[in-house]
Structures are given as C-alpha cells and as structure tokens.
Amino acid sequence: MTDTADSPVSPLPEASEVELLPATRIRLVETAAPELSSRHRSAMDRVWEEAVRANPALFDGPVAVLTGLERDGHDGLLLSWARATYRYRALRQVPGAPVCSSLFVSVLQPTGDGRLLIGRMAPSTAAPGRWQLPGGTVEPPQTDGELDLADLRAHAARELAEEIGSDTSAAALTRWLTARGARGSVGVFFVAPPRPARELRDRYAALVGAETARGVDPEFDRIELIRSPAALAALGGPHVDYLRPVVRRYTGT
C-alpha cells in the first residue's frame, strides 16, 4: 500500500471513454478475486483454450487484476486489485460473467527534441499490431506481500528494459498520471528521463538482435518516435485507447 490517506472514498462514475486522472496519491488494496460460477469458469476456460490454440505463445501466468477504482479524498485514488492469472481476461467474452479489468503500467520515453517512443506489438503477443507505449500488465508480488507504488515503478523499469532495451532505473522514473480506459482498465503512467533518438534506436536494435539470436520474438516488432497525436494516423494499424489522449496531454497539442 502506498501514499496512504484516511479520507472517505466515493466511487467514480462508470467510464465510457478514456479518463485521465492526475491523482496526487494512490492507494493499492488487495481484495479477493471475484467468485465464478461453474458455468462462468467453464466458459472462461473454453475461451482461453481457444485463444491459446490460435496463439500458442500466450502464457497463463500470474497477474494483478483490477477489482475497483474509487476516489480517495479530493486528490487521491484507491485501486483495489486481486491475484489471478491471464486467463481471467477471457471473462470479457463470457456474457454475464464478472469482468476483471487490467491494471497496467506505461512509460513515456521522450527524446531530447520532444518526441515520444511508441512500439507496435509483435504477432506473438496478445495484441498483435497494436501501437502503444512501453509497459505491461502488473504482476502480483511473489509472496503474500502488499503491492505498492515501488512495485509499479520497478515493473515499469523492467518493461522498458524488456521492450526497448533501456537501462533506465526505477528510481529515475517519475509518476505522472493515471488513466482509465473505456473498458475499465487502469494504467499508472511514468515519465523516463529524455534520451537521444539515436541511442533509443540503437538500444532497440541491439535488443532485437540479441533476442532473435536466442530464438525469441521481441515484444515490439517496430518502434517509432512521434511528436503529436496527428502522427498516429500515418502509422496504420490500431492503437491502444489511451494513446491519443495521453500523447495529447503530454505534448500539449
């Protein structure tokens, strides 16, 4: 648990589009995973198995799913989460089942001239062809320990290293804002220190070369440096719902 406060909580309205929530404080509280009926569990397993047959690279590893988001006073957010596995995402396709939204981290990696790095998800990932910032779904602590802001920051630094070859430390990342997508997923966004564009491209190329040599597909099959939301239209392909409003907020366009 981080940035605690004892002020009353009140629920946020249901999301119908991406909401940018520049909360000063964040609390993370573990809850129980939603109970599933035998019908919903069987349907979830069936949808997951079909997804794995279509993409054998999918892995049913541990994940922290979002179970609630509430206001925590006038400048804070309370994020409730539960331990689950990736197959719980299949519940989104099961009518009437409790929906488990994603809790994720993302990193804005600027260049010295003000552009932002975005990447395209590789065919072997859960969202092939989708453009997004470096980042990923949050994993729960390996023990029974609490999930806190330090864990989110460390996870964000690992995603930078794994997706673009960055050596930026967790301590160098600055928390910026929180966003909730139209489907209820919530992301905590960090900003990395600026890096020269050439260095970012060279580090990404080195990462791709090393992973290809090991027979591993990189998570991003392409990166681009963009200066404004208008550049997204020229890339082709889908992009994650938060990308345009986050880039617009960061660049002031």
Across 74-101, average pLDDT: 90
In order of their start, the domains of the chain are: 9-251 (3.90.79.10)
Which pLDDT does position 58 carry in this prediction?
87
Residue 6 has pLDDT above 80, yes or no: no
Q: Three-state DSSP class for 183?
A: coil
Residue 225: CB partners within 8 Å, gap ≥ 6? 111, 115, 116, 117, 118, 197, 200
Per-residue model confidence (pLDDT) at position 16: 52
The amino acid sitting at 177 is L
Could you give the percent of the chain with pLDDT greater than 90? 72
Is 80 exceeded by the pLDDT of residue 253?
Answer: no
- What's the pLDDT score for residue 15? 46
Q: pLDDT by residue (tens digit) across 102-158?
A: 999 999 999 999 999 999 999 988 889 999 999 999 999 887 778 999 999 999 999
pLDDT score of 162? 96
Q: What is the pLDDT of residue 146?
A: 87
Length of the chain: 253
Mean pLDDT of the chain: 89
Q: What pLDDT sits at residue 9?
A: 36
Lowest mean pLDDT among 72-76, 120-124, 229-233: 72-76
pTM of the model: 0.89
pLDDT at residue 210 is higher than 50: yes
Indicate if the alpha-carbon torsion angle 82, 86, 89, 90 is positive or negative. negative
Better-predicted residue by pLDDT, 5 or 121: 121
157: DSSP letter: H
198: confidence class by pLDDT, cuts 50, 70, 90: very high
5 pLDDT higher than 70: no
In whole angstroms, give the CA distance from residue 145 to residue 18: 31
Identify the pLDDT of residue 109.
Answer: 98
Q: At what angle do helices 149-164 and 197-213 cross, to 10 degrees?
A: 80
Percent with pLDDT over 70 in the chain: 94
146 or 3: which leads in pLDDT: 146
pLDDT tens, 10-55?
Answer: 344 444 589 998 778 899 999 998 899 999 999 999 999 999 999 8
| Pick from 182, 193, 173: nearest CA to 245 | 182
